[in-house]
Structures are given as structure tokens and as C-alpha cells.
Chains A and B, each alone.
Chain A
Amino acid sequence: MLKYALWRTLQLVPIIISVMFILFTLLYFTPGDPALVALGEEASPEAIVAFHREHGLDQPFFVQFGNYVYNVVFHLDFGYSYAMKTPVASELLPRVPVTMKLAFWAVLFSAVIGIPLGIICAVRQYSILDSVATLFTLLGISIPTFWSGLLVVLAFSVYLEWLPSMGFDTPAEMILPIITLSGSSLAIIARMTRSSMLEVIKSDYVRTARSKGQTEFSIIFRHALPNALIPVLTIIGMQFGTLLGGSIVTEAVFSISGIGRLMIEAIKMRDYPIIQGGVLFISVAFCLINLLVDVLYAWVDPRIRVK
């Protein structure tokens, strides 16, 4: 088990370095000189040369990339924001908890509502509740996050004036962003739980349990559910990544100062080191969560360890 976990962790290293390489290359070849962003369009040639030397921009491509990886890995130094004239880490790291908190609550909310909803729909297949839930999950995957954000603000902040439309500090401020962000994940988790549960309920061992005279409660929760939840676990892990990405939009709608809003401002100012740092951070978090899910998976389902 431990060996499997270690092996999976090691496999992450080349993937993360490749992600860094892709991001670095993309932004390296983007037109526009960072010196002009930092110093203004009228900077003198000498100042530009000095700026390049100071930030190592006169070095060959692979040396620059090597330095970047070295600094990120050993010093948690993501480079230097040319527009804000501060280290990226000092802009990025204070905002990490905000985005993490948002994504975490959204995952929790969509799992806590989505899984029971899926179970009920599977157990009462073709009931009215099942049809209504199917309709709502279809809406959930079809409504863009930014629009559902606008709608809940219109309803609960503008008309009813129950909840604030900005910020993410107090519990009241957290409700609307979490509902907005979790909408599509909730729908996907509910759909996945339903179909996975339906498959398990029809399997032979559940029929055996039923013919043994087990109670319906025991059949659903002791026999069927543990097996049905395995694929749902994977989906939840993948949703965490989607939600970290989706938090960009949610943060924009609710003016929450997390990584997402930082990145949007960076995009407007063409401040590439911030974009690079933000995407890298979210990708690494995404990889780690998938790793955690994989290890959990192996713990729950011993067949995977053997492979």
C-alpha cells in the first residue's frame, strides 16, 4: 500500500515538470517584452538591457527554464510580477486559502447533496422525484457558472436582499458563491451516483442479498452503496480540478480576492508570471488531489493495488 502511494507520488514529478515546461514555453514565446510592461513603453534601451540582466531574461531559454524550476522547487519563488513589481509568491500565496476554501466547500456541498440525491433516484427509478431530479441535473450541467452566479445575485441580493453579493469572509457571504460554484458538480455527481447505483442494484450479489432476506436498508447501504461509490470517488476528485478552474469565474462574479481574480487582473495587464504561477499552483493542487483519490481508491478497492 505504502509502496503504491510512493510510486504514484514519484510519477507526479515528471508530469508537474512537464506542466511547468508547457506553461513556461507558451508564455516565453508570447509576443511582448516584460521589460516594457515593467518600465513603460518609453524605457531607454540601457534600462531594458539592465532589466533583462537583473531578471535573467538575457539567458538562453533552457537556462531560464532551469532557473525557474529551481526557484519554484527550492525557494517557492514563482518569479517576479512585472506589472505589480512584487514577487509572484507574495501575491499568490495569501490568496491560496481563499480559493481552496471556496473549492473545498463547493466539493463538500455537491457531494453531500449529490450523492444522496443520486441514491434516492436510483432506488426509486422512474418515480416523480427521479424525473424532477433528472431535469434539474440536466439544467445543472447546461447552465454556465457565470450565469447561475448572476441569477442567484439577482434573486437573493437584488430582489430579496437576503444575502450579500460580494465577498467571501462571513458565512452569509459564502452561501451564494458556494451554491454557484457547486451547481454543475452537484449535477454530475448526482448523475454518476444514480447510474453507478443502478448498475450495482441489478448485479447478482445484490440479488443474492435480497434472496437471503436482508432488509432493503441493509441491501442499499451495506451491500450496494460501497461498491457504487467507487466510480463516484473518481468523479469527485476530477470535479475538484474543475472547481478550482471554475472558481476563477465565481471569484469574478462575486469579487472574491482569490487566485482566480488575481489571474484575471493579470491577464488584463498581460502580467505573464502571475498567470504562470496561478495555473501552475492550481494544476499541482489538482494533481495532488487526484493522487489522494487514487490512493484512497487503492485502499478501498484492493484489486487496484495488484495491477
Chain B
Amino acid sequence: MFSLNKHSALRYTLIRLRRNYMAVAGLFILFLLIVVAIFAEQIAPHGYADQDYMMILKGSSAQHWLGTDQFGRDVLSRIIYGSRVSLQVGLVAVAISLVIGGAIGAIAGYFGGRLGNVLMRLMDIQLAIPTILLAIVISSVLGPGLTNLMIAVGLTSVPRFARLMRASVISIKDMEFIEAARAMGASHTRIINLYILPNCAAPFIVQSTLTVANSILFAATLSFLGLGIQPPFPEWGGMLSDARAYMRTAPYLSIYPGIAIMVTIIALNCIGDGLRDALDPKQKR
């Protein structure tokens, strides 16, 4: 892999993380998912929109391991392609909220004053709207589609990152090494990027992992409500939404995509919990 300083904090974190079996299992599942998403064309036995009119709403068979849906499309292949949407939305949405929220929080924490106050009040206002509702409003304004889904989900987590960033910047900015950097003539940008941000990384990494899980859940929920990805491209939430009409004739349609969501979220939550324990040894039992 890559070489690590023998006594670096990262090295100790990884050692502690490796002892946490749940987190290791989570990382393994996440790795598998990423491989599946990247190589969907090679792994999926059928195309995601291939229709087989002889095989409509048929259960598991040798040809279609997880059965077929109301258009005779292979459920397994659709779940495999659906991983692309979930992972993309999860990662891009978190990147959006991390960059915007991080910037707002860093500015509010570092410079403080009136600007900081105004920015944080704005975040408070956003927190007054329940997150899922805000995501619904934003995506109904933007319209359906992958990009809009990412933006809608990403914007909803901005205040959480802003608050976290502000709190960690405030706890660090008056330390002596920052003062030393300032005395050496470092600019504000340099101080923030080189000295403050690396020291805020730990809570951010944990929050990001958990937010990826949350974003995937939100994206699936929006798709379930008909606000996400447009057919025929498969999305796990959207597949479950379609499955409702066939609960009596083809109940398996309501089960497999849900398992895919659940396993992904459990994996991410385990990684997040594991990282939190590994990055904060003081908290360890």
C-alpha cells in the first residue's frame, strides 16, 4: 500500500480500526460494493433495461437468480446497476455538504464577529426545517434527475458540517502553534488550510462516513416518493416504490432491493462507528 511514518497518528488509527471486526467487515462490504458499481457491465448477467416478455414477474430461476419484475427485467442486474446511483449520490452529496458546510464553518469559526454570527444564524434557520422535508422541497424545485438529487441531498447536510467545523476551528485557533504560524507571517488562507484543517480532520471523517449513509437513505427515500432518478435507470428506492403494486403476486420485488440498501447502510454505519472509536482513543471503553 503506502508507507506510513512508524509513529504517525494515521498508523495508530488504522491499527485500532483493524481490531474492530464490525468496521473491518463494513470496509470489506463497501469495497465489494465499489467493485460491483464500477464493473456493473461485466458482473450483471443482463442489461438493466433488457426486457424478457416470456418472464414477467417470475421468481428466482437459474436464468434470473432474483427473479424478474413487471417488465421482465432481471432484478439482480437492476440491483447491481442501482449500486452506481446510491454510491454516486452518497459520495457527491457528502462532498457538496463538506465543501460548503466546511467553508461556512471555517469562516464563521476563524473570523467570528458579525459575519460568523450571520452565517451560523442562517444554518440555524435551515435546521428549523426537518431535513427530509428540505430535501423534498429542493428536489421538487430542481426537478428529477441524478445531478439534482445529489444537490438536494447534499444541501440538506450543510448545517451539520458547518457547526462541526466551527466548533473545531474555535477550539484550535487560539492554540500556540497557530499563534506561532501567524508570527511567522502566514496568511489566513495558509493558516486555515495548513494548520487548522488537518487538526479538524478526525471528527470530520467520522461525520462524513455517517453522512454518506444518511445521504444514500435520503436519495432512496426521494426516489421512493418519485422525486429521484427517472426510469428506466434503476435506483433501489425507486425499485421498491414500483414493487408496491405487486406485493401479493411478487413479494420478492419488495425484499431484495431493500436488503441492498440495508447492507450498504449497515456497512457505512459500522465503518463510521469504528472510525469514531479509532480516532478518539480517550473515548474507548
Contact = CB atoms under 8 A, between A and B. Distances in A.
A249 B266 contact: no
Given A146-B237, A150-B243, A248 B141 contact: no
A159 to B, nearest CB: 8
Interface string A1-16: 0000000000000011
B140 interface: yes
B265 interface: yes
14 contacts: A16-B128, A138-B269, A144-B265, A146-B241, A153-B247, A246-B132, A249-B132, A253-B244, A267-B136, A268-B226, A270-B140, A279-B134, A283-B128, A287-B128
Contacts of A139: 262, 266
Using C-beta atoms within 8 Å of the partner chain, give the interface range for chain B. 35 or more
A257 interface: no
Sorted nearest first, the 5 A-B pairs with minimum C-beta distance are A245-B130, A147-B258, A245-B132, A142-B265, A18-B125
Contacts of A252: 224-225
A121 B260 CA distance: 29
A244 to B, nearest CB: 6
A263 B221 CA distance: 15
B131 A245 contact: yes
Interface string B8-37: 000000000000000000000000000000
A30 B143 CA distance: 10
Given A19-B128, A142-B265, A267-B227, A150 B247 contact: yes
A147 B244 CA distance: 10
Contact of B244 (A150, A275, A283): A150
B137 A150 contact: no
B64 to A, nearest CB: 21
Interface stretch (A20-28, A71-79, A82-90, A294-302): A20-28
A144 B217 contact: yes
A242 B266 contact: no
A288 to B, nearest CB: 11
A248 B129 CA distance: 14
A179 interface: no
Interface in B88-129: 124-126, 128-129
A145 interface: yes
Contacts of B258: 143-144, 147, 150-151
Using C-beta atoms within 8 Å of the partner chain, give the interface range for chain A. 35 or more
Given A142-B262, A146-B221, A150-B254, A158 B128 contact: no
B151 interface: no
B243 A282 contact: no
B130 A241 contact: yes
Nearest to A266: B140
B125 A22 contact: yes
Which of B128, B213, B266 has the most C-beta atoms of chain A within 10 angstroms of its own C-beta? Answer: B128
A154 interface: yes
Contact of A146 (B126, B136, B141, B224): B224
Interface string B226-243: 110000000001001101
A253 B225 CA distance: 10
A181 to B, nearest CB: 12
Which of B130, B141, B269 has the most C-beta atoms of chain A within 10 angstroms of its own C-beta? Answer: B130
Interface string A225-245: 000000000000000011011
A253 B244 CA distance: 8
A18 B126 CA distance: 9
A147 B243 CA distance: 11
Interface in B121-175: 124-126, 128-134, 136-138, 140-141
A142 B226 CA distance: 21
Contacts of B136: 248, 263, 267, 275, 279
A27 B138 CA distance: 9
A80 interface: no
B261 interface: yes
Given A144-B217, A246-B132, 12 more contacts: A19-B125, A142-B262, A146-B221, A147-B261, A153-B247, A249-B225, A252-B225, A275-B136, A275-B140, A279-B136, A282-B130, A286-B129
B157 to A, nearest CB: 14
A283 B125 CA distance: 10
Interface in A266-307: 267-268, 270, 275, 279, 282-283, 286-287
